[in-house]
Chain A
Amino acid sequence: MVRRKRLLPLPGTVLVNVGEEVRADSPVARAELPGKVQAVNVANLLGIAPDEIREYLIKREGEPVQKDEVIAENKPLIKWFKTEVRSPIQGTIESVSTVTGQVLLREPPRLLELLAYIDGTVVEVHPSQGVTVETACSLVQGIFGIGGETWGNIAIAVKSPEETLTPEHLTPDLKGKVVVGGALCPIETMNKAKDVGVAALVVGGIHDKDLRALLGYDLGVAITGTEKVGFTLILTEGFGTIPMAAKTFKLLSAHAGRKASVSGATQIRAGVIRPEIIIPRPDHTTSSPSREGKDEGEHAREGIKVGDLVRIIRDPLFGKIGEVSRLPPDLQKIPTESLVRVLEVRFPDGSTAVIPRANIEVIEGV
């Protein structure tokens, strides 16, 4: 069972009640975002002292104005010398300052509608703020993403998690779908995804140079979610050619054709947010969620045990998956000469490697 809080950025009206069923695209709350502000220095434009400004104003604080409507004017003896100050926008007079001689005008508020994001049930209403939506689902947590919230039916475009997602895989029937690829998604494929109009791409890895080409700039810090590149992109493993974890691929394949809600928002600093793929169950009520992902906080709490399935998340064995075979308690010297806590991982072919504990993540079961 997954719960998602849906909160407005500022107080507004909640549109649904507890117990109500909602779809991903159902509006659940609404607020009015204050309009943009424009400053007009009336005193300067009329050539008067700021403390005289009120004598020349035609409109008062709180009054509505139309674009190009006169808001202030002087009263010369000869009408020919009359100066008028017109409003640059449609809106209201927000404030008048007799110190600076400025009039601040505010554009009309913008309506902001908050959608449910997932198919589910409203389980809590936060008055004036939003709601909490709950759904029984399968959840896949990615490691990095770009782009905002979206949804669509899952389509598996490749035959195996090792395969590269090429432009040829993206056929027109994938429009509006959450497309699952394999180990790599080159820039040509991302460009094709825009043309086709896919809702989201979920792949194992991409090259950093392709991300730069997609965004048009070098991403400095991992705070994402607002990019407008035409689709939402989720990496399940990282940067480079890295096959999607078999379990992730299997889970997504098992739900092919089902609707998924996807968010690319990633924030690694000051409040970790990882991208996600939520696949609600048709009746939204079955308990015991399926889960695949990397929630470091949780396994850090429980500790790592011999037998845990782990993924190595740093070179030289980046992406390899194995089982913890030994947990030496003492610090050990690694090739850099650092003394660190390590563990031993046994790979499916029977070989083993000693890895710093900081460089693995536990794979949670499906």
Chain B
Amino acid sequence: MTAPGQSAHRHATDRPLNVIVATDCGSTTTKAILIENIVDEYRQTYRGEAPTTVEAPFEDVTKGVLNAVAEIEELSGRKILDGERIITPNRAAQGEPNVGVDVYISTSSAGGGLQMMVTGVVQNMTGESAQRAALGAGAIVIDVLASNDGRLPHEKIERIRTMRPDMILMSGGTDGGAITHVVEMAEYIAAAEPRPRFGSTYTLPLIYAGNKEAREQIGKILGKKTALVITDNIRPVLERENLAPARQKIHDLFLEHVMAQAPGYKKLIEMAGAPIMPTPAAVGLIMETIAKRQHLNLIGVDIGGATTDVFSVFDGVFNRTVSANLGLSYSISNVLAEAGLANIMRWVPFSIDEQTLRNRIKNKMIRPTTIPQTLDELQVEQAIAREALRLALIHHKSLATGLKGVQQERTISDIFEQQTSGRTLIDMLKLDLIVGSGGILSHAPRRVQSMMMMIDAYEPLGFTRLSVDSIFMMPHLGVLSTVNEKAATDVFVRDCMIYLGACIAPIGQGKDGERCADYAIAFDDGRPEERGTLRFGDLRVFPLTQDQTARVTMQPAKTVDLGEGPGHAVSRDVQGGVVGLLLDGRGRPLQLPTNHAARLTALNRWYKSVDLYPQPSDR
């Protein structure tokens, strides 16, 4: 991936990179990491953080960057700063190995990230393609307008006028097709005279990626009213999407227009040895790289304070969605509004009255940087996280689909399966790996908590491996991979990715205590084989470290499926992790007892069986 300014930054890749400092400017915190080449291997060595400084009284993002880097300086003893400048390159050649770094790189989601509005002609065809292009580029899509979206013309115009996006992406029509509807949308945009969120003096960037026959008309209508950029059609023919050129333009304009408006970014761009990427784009890049290198079907999630980003790669197809108002601090109240109190409460292993819980959630919303101090507060926050993760995956499934509107050739068996075009690409049975990132997952006091949050929210089926970003450094590694792939890969493998273990979850339901499946686990470390019966309602964990494998044979009950059909035995090798091998006999779909007392009993039994939280005797 390249972005504007790449040529200006090219010098950074022309010399050996042995010491790298990377920052991620988040909406509240700027996180910095130091990466060093130690005996031919790159390792993440020190970490610092400081409040992001895009707000008054500083209004200069580089102040937060310098503060975070100064913390690394203190911890590492390396001199990195010369006043307000990062010393590059490293002065090892001059006999001062502990002075300077070879490159400084950064990602950013400060200022609320990149907020876009997209338009198409048919909502679930070009409208959806435009949405995928914008989401894949790391944007938050604040609205999708289409000719057939059911809104009246004046309602569309009013919407464009009031939303104040950072950028608009226009698509619509296949190349050579009718131009009327896409021109109509351009007329609405022109009538709305859209104004950007930041800066009253600059013109709103607009990318046109629709029917190429309409370019001249679009130029006439929008050329003077917007900073118009024309690129290839994102859906040149009905059967094919061509999202890369539009995504590239979004990156270019983000840097040139949007980010340049944020306070201090011009300085930051000059400081950095590579183009600054929007944080979600960088995380998407690293997730895509993992999946493609290891030929995996993967779901990745980055749960933040304001948004939850979900990434997936299934059969090589990458998708990303952002749930703009599902997060654990600024947007925590919206999780309550969307999920409902009952859905949050079903994960809380104690009784709490509604008023207290609602007030606590609102208090977190208005003071987003506070942290849970007591165990019950942590349990409530992890319950909310489960719901945010669950809702964001539902959102992702609805957008990560095959192309809609395409007539597919069908065989007789397809017809019997009643598959239609545009079905979701997310197949939980084919899923190999779930990767979690973001504060609540990366910083959970016990790693098993991260694993259970993801299992409860995603309900993986059959055999699935889970992992977590150790200290939330995927954004840094995403941007680093554009500069030095080896460094990004080394650090990713050694320091970033923590494998939690494997989850085996039979599909089916039964009464508590009924036989779900018989299991036999043969360990490769010489331990005696484990054999037994997994019963419905059981949750069992077996120690199995990251470098250990085990051969697991499951013989499910007649109505229970593990991917080979009901009652069919399955045998597979599984790899472990810091938690181990988890057999989840709670049934799929997961159904928690509806009776309050029974649910509390079940939750406490499950949580105890995997040692999820400290018990009273531990405290």
Which of chain B's residues have a CB closer than 8 A to the CB of A301? 57-58
Contacts of B54 in A (CB 8 A): 271
Interface membership of A313, Cβ < 8 A: yes
Known: A38-B154, A95-B190, A220-B333. A100 touches B367 (CB 8 A): no
Distance between B545 CB and nearest chain A CB, rounded to angstroms: 21
Judging by beta carbons under 8 Å apart, are B445 and A221 in contact?
no
Give every chain A residue within 8 A of B361 (Cβ-Cβ). Answer: 208
Q: How far is the CA of A208 from the CA of B359 in the complex (A)?
A: 5
Cross-interface CB contact of B367 among A218, A220, A314, cutoff 8 Å: A314
Bound: A271/B53 CA distance, A: 10
Q: Which residues of A contact B217 (CB under 8 A)?
A: 99
- Which B residue sits closest to A144, measured CB to CB? B366
Q: Are A270 and B111 in contact (CB under 8 A)?
A: yes
Residue in A37, A99, A240, A334 whose CB lies within 8 Å of B363 = A240
With beta carbons under 8 angstroms apart, the residue of B56, B184, B338, B367 that contacts A143 is B367
Answer whether A268 and B368 are a contact pair too, CB < 8 Å, given A97-B187, A99-B180: yes
Q: Say if the beta carbon of A34 comes within 8 Å of chain B.
A: yes
Q: Is B437 among interface residues, defined by CB-CB distance under 8 A?
A: no
Query: Within B264-321, which residues are at the interface with A (CB < 8 Å)?
Result: 306
Binds B, one of A193-201, A245-253, A284-292, A351-359: A351-359
B378: CB under 8 A from chain A?
A: yes
Which residue of B is nearest A353, CB measured?
A: B373
The reply to whether B51 and A337 contact each other, CB–CB distance below 8 Å, is no
Does chain B have a CB within 8 A of A76?
no
Give the Cβ gap from B349 to chain A, nearest Cβ, in Å: 14
Q: Is the CB of A220 within 8 A of B331?
A: yes
Which B residues are CB-close (under 8 A) to A97?
Answer: 183-184, 187
Contacting residues, chain B, for A318 (C-beta < 8 A): 363
A61 to B326 CA separation, bound complex (whole angstroms): 46
Q: State how many angstroms separate the Cβ of A363 from the closest Cβ of chain B.
A: 14
Asked if B446 lies at the interface with its beta carbon under 8 angstroms from chain A, I say yes
Known: A10-B195, A220-B334, A270-B111. A356 touches B373 (CB 8 A): yes
**CB-CB < 8 A to A10: which residues of B?**
195, 200
Q: Cβ of B192: which chain A residues have Cβ within 8 Å of it? A: 37
Residues 229-259 of B at the A interface (beta carbon under 8 Å): none
For the complex, would chain A's binding face be called helix, strand, loop or mixed by DSSP majority?
A: loop
The number of residues on chain A lying at the interface, defined by a beta carbon within 8 Å of a beta carbon of chain B, is 58
| Residues B191 and A334 in contact, CB atoms below 8 Å apart | no
| Most chain B CB neighbours (cut-off 10 Å) among A270, A271, A336, A361 | A336
- Which residues of chain A are within 8 angstroms of B331 by Cβ–Cβ distance? 220-221, 269
- Counting residue pairs across A and B whose Cβ atoms lie within 8 Å, the total is 176
Let me know if B333 and A222 touch, CB within 8 A.
yes
Residue A94 is within 8 A (CB to CB) of chain B in the complex: yes
Q: Are A338 and B333 in contact (CB under 8 A)?
A: no
Contact (A36, B363) CB under 8 Å given A94-B191, A222-B330? no
A83–B370 Cα gap in the complex (Å)? 67
Contact B191 A269 (CB under 8 A): no
Question: Are A36 and B371 interface neighbours, CB within 8 A?
Answer: no
Interface membership of chain B positions 1-32, coded 1 if the CB is closer than 8 angstroms to chain A and 0 otherwise = 00000000000000000000000000100000
Docked CA distance A336–B56 (Å): 34
Residue among B27, B153, B154, B372 making CB contact with A269, cutoff 8 Å: B27
Q: Which residues of B contact A2 (CB under 8 A)?
A: none
Residue ranges of A at the interface with B (Cβ–Cβ < 8 Å): 10-11, 34, 36-39, 50, 94-95, 97, 99-100, 102, 104, 106, 129, 143-144, 207-209, 211, 218-222, 238-240, 266, 268-272, 296-298, 300-301, 313-316, 318, 334-338, 340, 355-356, 358-359, 361
- Other A-B pairs beyond A219-B333, A315-B373, A356-B371, 12, CB < 8 Å: A10-B200, A37-B191, A97-B183, A99-B180, A100-B181, A221-B330, A238-B366, A297-B51, A297-B55, A336-B374, A336-B445, A355-B373
Which residues in B have some Cβ–Cβ distance to A below 8 Å?
Answer: 27, 51, 54-58, 111-112, 153-154, 157-158, 179-181, 183-184, 187-188, 190-193, 195, 200, 217, 306, 325, 330-331, 333-334, 336-338, 354-356, 358-375, 377-378, 443, 445-446, 614, 619
List 20 A-B pairs, Cβ < 8 Å.
A10-B200, A37-B192, A39-B188, A97-B184, A100-B180, A143-B367, A209-B355, A219-B362, A221-B330, A221-B365, A269-B330, A270-B27, A270-B111, A298-B57, A314-B364, A314-B370, A314-B371, A336-B373, A336-B445, A340-B371
